[in-house]
Amino acid sequence: DLATAFTDRGQIKYLRVEFAAAVEDYTAAIECQPGFEVPYYNRGLVLYRLGCFDEAMKDFRKVLELNPQFEDAALSLKQAILDKEEKQKQSY
């Protein structure tokens, strides 16, 4: 289906370190199928790597809302929270 195709293409772009293009594909996948948790998770990972912790946490929380058993999303959310706190400490 289209959402899976966008997600797969986003993954290829992510592996090529084409982060902005990957985010676009993951977002397109979400628009096609809002209940599909994988593109939220993948987009969250890209946003996390870009240092956009708030946006990443929003995506990880959406994954857990859709699928509370998605352990990698729970771990990624915890890590994003910790890294955001650490970044804020360093800003002082």
Residue 39 contacts residue 10 (beta carbons within 8 Å): yes
| Mean pLDDT (whole number) for 2-8 | 97
* pLDDT tens-digit map of 19-77: 999 999 999 999 999 999 999 999 999 999 999 999 999 999 999 999 999 999 999 99
Quote the pLDDT of residue 49. 95
Residue 34 DSSP class: T
CATH superfamily of this structure's domain 2-90: Tetratricopeptide repeat domain (1.25.40.10)
Tokens of 51: 């240092």
Residue 92 scores a pLDDT above 80: no
Q: What is the DSSP string of 55-74?
A: HHHHHHHHHHHH-TT-HHHH
